[in-house]
């Protein structure tokens, strides 16, 4: 499809919101017309909200092998392991990109890296015409809040959460600011809220309050005050990302318990403690849902924005954070983009292990279907609701990524084939994930037709970015 064709099939925010409002009015009329048909339903069924609450929990740099339910042997994650046992554990779910901002852009807008606005870590804000999942759900009557890291718009830009569908926001706007777990301020909506921590150059010199604790408290408070209406909570703690500004001491956590006595390097004790702390915070959210009696009315997603990092002194190999796959954050091999992904809703979603292959850009249409909301046209994502409900799901013809740090790179997944290429003129590598999950045997020479198909996908799946720094071709200096 041409650039003009893609632009034409995408609704602008104004057109989408107008059409969504009309659809909501029609839906309300239909709901009223069906009310008498439900008169024989049980009192319990009538007491349930018409639409499920939706919580999306996004860890930061958590690897495919960092949870017990994905094979981790040394880091304790009892709450997430229980979550997996009670819901669906996906074995072939993918992040939007291999670093933070573009991955979150794909999550919020339903577009893969060949079409998304934000394709790398840079201060590029979402625009007024970009439609986010929060806006889609807001038009369907949902309260929408973000607690944690945003990364898609700086202060006083069009990209801040409050201008992208979220009625409430608490946390970090800036990705670099989010490195610091003891910042001297966080944002509440458009207000900078001072904190008693003190810092120099992005590293705390006085540690009083831990940002992850504050963010979790805000998430819990939003659930409490929204329990009587459908809500969408995007909970994006920064754990276990490193504070890169702290060098080899970048794994910041108040205590290394329960690993204090382990004969590990201190930085690895801290990393493990961060993951277990994240696990406990997820446990607090799940316990609150049960206490409020909305556990069975809430679809909870848990995943990570990309693969595991090798930053802040942490060695991703120490705990085998990539699990059974090759690569880490910033790679387009599986370890950089395949992420642990769990979905749970007792009474609606049956426990299972699923090999459905889907990616972050599928979340927007999935949330829209769950909410009975109108979905924007021209998305790359498709709803995975059938897969959640145990029904047949056709899935994608292909999944596509591109990345720019260290030179332009592309990757495509189609069937069991996985292709990776560096540069438009680079030689395409080809792997059969069914037989070679670690992508160690390049079988391109033996499979020319699969290589041809991969290169067709890499050519057709993208348009050039409107942002010059994300060009697929190197720019030469003017003479």
State residue 180's pLDDT score. 97
pLDDT at 355: 97
- pLDDT(196) > 90: yes
- pLDDT at residue 214, rounded to an integer: 98
How high does pLDDT run on average in the chain?
91
Going from the N-terminus, what domains does the chain have, and what CATH number goes with each? 48-388 (3.40.720.10), 406-467 (3.30.1120.10)
Taking only the tens place, the pLDDT of each residue in 394-408 is 999 999 999 999 999
Mean pLDDT of 290-297: 97
For 359-414, the DSSP string reads EGGGHHHHHHHHHTPPPPSS-S----HHHHTTS-----S-EEEEE-TTS-EEEEEE
pLDDT at 1: 38
Write down the pLDDT at residue 472. 84
- Whether residue 34 is predicted with pLDDT greater than 60 in this model: the reply is no
pLDDT (tens digit per residue) in 198-244: 999 999 999 999 999 999 999 999 999 999 999 999 999 999 999 99
pLDDT tens-digit map of 96-105: 999 999 999 9
Count the Cβ atoms, other than its own, within 10 Å of residue 163.
Answer: 17
* Per-position b or e across 347-359, b if 16+ CB within 10 A of its CB: eebeeeebebbbb
What's the pLDDT at 478?
Answer: 39
Instruction: Say whether 313 sits in a helix, a strand or coil.
Output: coil
Residue with the two structure tokens 């409050």: 162
> pLDDT confidence of 38, banded at 50, 70, 90?
very low
Residue 477 confidence class, pLDDT cut points 50, 70, 90: very low
pLDDT (average), residues 86-97: 98
Residue 91 has what pLDDT? Answer: 98
Q: Is the pLDDT of residue 121 over 90?
A: yes
Distance CA 91, CA 114 (A): 24
């Amino acid at each position: 499809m041409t650039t003009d064709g893609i632009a034409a099939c995408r609704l602008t925010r104004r057109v989408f919101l107008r059409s969504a409002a009309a659809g909501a009015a029609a839906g309300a009329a239909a709901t009223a017309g069906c009310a008498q048909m439900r008169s024989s339903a049980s009192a319990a069924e009538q007491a349930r909200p018409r639409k499920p609450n939706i919580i999306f929990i996004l860890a930061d740099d958590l690897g495919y092998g960092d949870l017990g339910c994905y094979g981790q042997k040394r880091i304790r994650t009892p709450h997430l392991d229980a979550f997996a046992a009670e819901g669906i554990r996906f074995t072939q779910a993918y992040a939007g990109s291999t670093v933070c901002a573009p991955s979150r852009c794909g999550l919020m807008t339903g577009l893969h890296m060949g079409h998304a606005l934000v394709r790398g870590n840079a201060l590029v804000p979402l625009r007024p015409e970009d439609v986010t999942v929060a806006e889609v759900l807001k038009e369907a009557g949902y309260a929408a809040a973000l607690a944690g890291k945003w990364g898609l718009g700086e202060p006083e830009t069009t990209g801040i959460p409050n201008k992208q569908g979220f009625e409430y926001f608490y946390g970090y706007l800036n990705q670099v600011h989010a490195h610091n777990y003891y910042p001297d301020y966080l944002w509440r909506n458009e207000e900078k809220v001072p904190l008693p921590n003190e810092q120099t150059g992005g590293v705390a010199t006085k540690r009083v309050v831990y940002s992850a604790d504050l963010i979790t408290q805000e998430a819990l408070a939003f659930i409490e005050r929204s329990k009587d209406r459908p809500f969408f909570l995007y909970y994006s703690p920064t754990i276990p990302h490193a504070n890169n500004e702290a060098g080899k001491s970048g794994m910041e956590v108040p205590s290394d318990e329960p690993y204090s006595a382990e004969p590990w390097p201190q930085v690895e004790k801290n990393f493990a403690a961060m993951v277990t702390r994240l696990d406990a915070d997820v446990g607090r959210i799940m316990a609150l849902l049960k206490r409020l009696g909305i556990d069975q009315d809430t679809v909870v997603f848990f995943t990570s924005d990309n693969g595991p990092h090798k930053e802040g002194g942490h060695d991703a190999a120490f705990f085998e954070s990539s699990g059974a796959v090759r690569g880490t954050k910033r790679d387009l091999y599986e370890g950089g983009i395949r992420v642990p992904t769990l979905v749970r809703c007792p009474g609606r979603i049956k426990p299972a292990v699923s090999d459905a292959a889907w990616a972050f850009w599928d979340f927007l249409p999935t949330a829209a279907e769950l909410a009975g909301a109108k979905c924007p046209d021209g998305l790359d994502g498709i709803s995975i609701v059938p897969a959640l409900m145990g029904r047949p799901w056709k899935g994608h013809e292909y999944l596509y990524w591109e990345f720019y740090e260290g030179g332009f790179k592309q990757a495509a997944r189609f069937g069991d084939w996985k292709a990776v290429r560096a540069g438009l003129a680079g030689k395409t590598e080809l792997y059969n994930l069914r037989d070679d999950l670690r992508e160690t045997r390049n079988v391109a020479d033996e499979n020319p037709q699969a290589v041809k198909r991969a290169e067709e996908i890499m050519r057709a799946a993208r348009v050039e970015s409107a942002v010059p720094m994300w060009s697929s071709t190197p720019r030469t200096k003017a003479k």
